[in-house]
Amino acid sequence: MDIERGYTQDLETLKAYIQKIIDLGVVGINIEDTEGEEVYLNKLFCIKNYLDKTRQKLFINARTDAFLLNLPSPLETTIKRARMYEDAGADGLFVTGIQSTDVVKEIVTATSLPVNVIGISKFTSISSLTVCGVKRISMAGLLYKATYTEMEEIAKGVFVEEHLL
């Protein structure tokens, strides 16, 4: 389940959300670090401590957006964050905005966490990402966009045909 940034700054509220998520049967979450490393680590530690205290399990896929947000030195930032998030108890690393399989390989090599990326259909295939060591490929909006692009083309064709009749 994608919980964005956790939908709160209040750590007690975050724990309540996590419990509701678990009660629904969710076994894993993505949580984003777009608010910065300090805020993110506080949330990650909060969730991990809550899970340990309550003896519950939830896979935490730490999403880092250094590439997506065009931060300075995104590769170095991503690798630094991967190490911090792993040390804080994340179970996986989700990296968005990567545009090169060479960069994917560097990230996979730099962490022991299973790496998740968004399918990057413009330049690569699922098999090439698998060869890079990626363990999970998200489609995000790719399928949605492809569907609507195709529907738009069909609608344009219908509109043109209607005006030709």
Q: How do the domains of the chain map onto residue ranges?
A: 11-140
Position 150 scores a pLDDT of: 79
Position 134 scores a pLDDT of: 72
pLDDT at 165 over 60: no
Q: How far apart are CA 45 and CA 152, in angstroms?
A: 45
pLDDT at 89 over 70: yes
Position 11 scores a pLDDT of: 95
pLDDT, tens digit (0-9, with 9 covering 90-100), for 91-150:
999 998 888 888 889 999 999 999 988 766 555 677 777 777 778 777 666 666 767 777
Question: With bands split at pLDDT 50, 70 and 90, how would you rate the model's confidence at 155?
Answer: confident
Between residues 79 and 132, the one the model is more confident about: 79
Cα distances (Å, whole numbers) of residue 137 to 11, 95, 124, 129:
30, 10, 12, 8
Q: Which helix (H) or strand (E) holds 14?
A: helix 11-23
Going across the sheet that includes 28-32, the strands are 28-32, 59-64, 92-95, 115-118, 136-138
Homologous superfamily (CATH) of 11-140 is: Phosphoenolpyruvate-binding domains (3.20.20.60)
Residue percentage of the chain with pLDDT more than 90: 55
As a whole number, the mean pLDDT across the chain is 86
Q: How far apart are CA 58 and CA 26, in angstroms?
A: 8
pLDDT, tens digit (0-9, with 9 covering 90-100), for 23-43:
999 999 999 999 989 999 999
